[in-house]
Each structure stands twice: as structure tokens, then as C-alpha cells.
């Protein structure tokens, strides 16, 4: 039995983190935030030494997990409004992971981040959700609406 759609969902979720990282990296470069999304996620492992590669691995795992959970949830929720559902799933998990990060790392191992960091990571989550929704629509939807 060959069933590769969940694997495709994981791949879509992992790769969808890249545009969000690009957006946060640009904003950090412009001085709007302190950490890009990959740097922030790496702090869950390194605690006080942000590194892009470890953040990429963590973000790929989390992004893939969110995507496969959304893929299975779509069996119950339906495939309409995929982009909106993807953004909503991303925002839900962003909220949970911000709570985890704030409770475990922030203020204990690193100084408290500026509020602008929350906004740029929120933007990265929205970019992630839009990208994932469009890719789900193109590669996993039964209707596969052409863009």
C-alpha cells in the first residue's frame, strides 16, 4: 500500500517555514525585531545562543507536525477555505509555542524580547499559513484549484 499524502503534507509544512524566515530575517535586518523565527526557535535548544541551522531543524519539525495534523483534521473540517484554515492552524500553534517559549526560556536564559519580536513572528506565522494553504490547495486538495 502506497499512501504518500501525509509525507507530502509534512514536506509542505516544513518548506512553508522558509518564506516566514525570509520575512523575519528582512525585518530583523531593518532593525524592527531582535530574532528571526529560526533564531528564536533555536533558543528552545541552545537557551542563549541563537543559531539559524538548529532553528531550521526545529522549525522544519514543528512546521511539518502542524501540516500533518492539519492534513488529518481536514478530513473532518473539509477542504474549503484551505488558506484560511492553514493560517488559523498556524496562529493556534504560534500561540501555544509562544506560551511555551515565554514560560521556559524568555526571562530565564535570555532577556525579555521587545514587543516588535512578537509582531514579526506573528507575521511569519501568517506567511507560513498562507504558503502552506496555497501548497495544500495545489498538491493535496482533491479539487486542486489552479493558481
pLDDT in tens, the chain (147 residues): 457 899 999 999 999 999 999 999 999 999 999 999 999 999 989 988 999 999 999 999 999 999 999 999 998 999 999 999 999 999 999 999 999 888 888 888 889 999 999 999 999 999 999 999 999 999 998 765 444
Q: Which among 130, 96, 121, 110 is positioned nearest to 25, based on CA atoms?
A: 121
Handedness of CA 114, 116, 122, 125 (dihedral sign): negative
Residue 141: per-residue pLDDT: 83
Is 111 exposed, middle or buried (CB count within 10 Å of its CB: 0-12, 13-18, 19+)? exposed
Q: What is the pTM of this model?
A: 0.91
Amino acid at each position: 500500500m502506497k499512501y504518500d499524502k501525509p509525507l507530502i503534507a509534512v514536506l509542505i509544512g516544513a518548506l512553508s517555514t522558509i518564506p516566514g524566515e525570509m520575512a523575519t530575517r528582512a525585518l530583523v535586518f531593518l532593525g524592527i525585531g531582535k530574532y528571526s523565527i529560526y533564531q528564536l526557535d533555536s533558543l528552545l535548544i541552545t537557551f542563549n545562543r541563537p543559531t539559524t541551522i538548529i532553528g531550521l531543524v526545529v522549525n522544519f519539525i514543528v512546521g511539518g507536525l502542524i501540516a500533518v495534523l492539519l492534513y488529518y483534521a481536514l478530513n473532518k473540517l473539509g477542504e474549503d477555505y484551505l488558506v484560511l484554515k492553514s493560517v488559523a492552524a498556524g496562529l493556534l500553534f504560534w500561540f501555544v509555542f509562544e506560551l511555551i517559549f515565554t514560560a521556559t526560556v524568555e526571562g530565564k536564559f535570555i532577556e525579555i524580547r521587545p514587543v516588535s519580536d512578537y509582531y514579526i513572528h506573528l507575521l511569519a506565522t501568517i506567511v507560513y499559513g498562507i504558503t502552506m494553504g496555497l501548497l495544500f490547495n495545489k498538491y493535496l486538495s482533491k479539487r486542486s484549484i489552479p493558481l
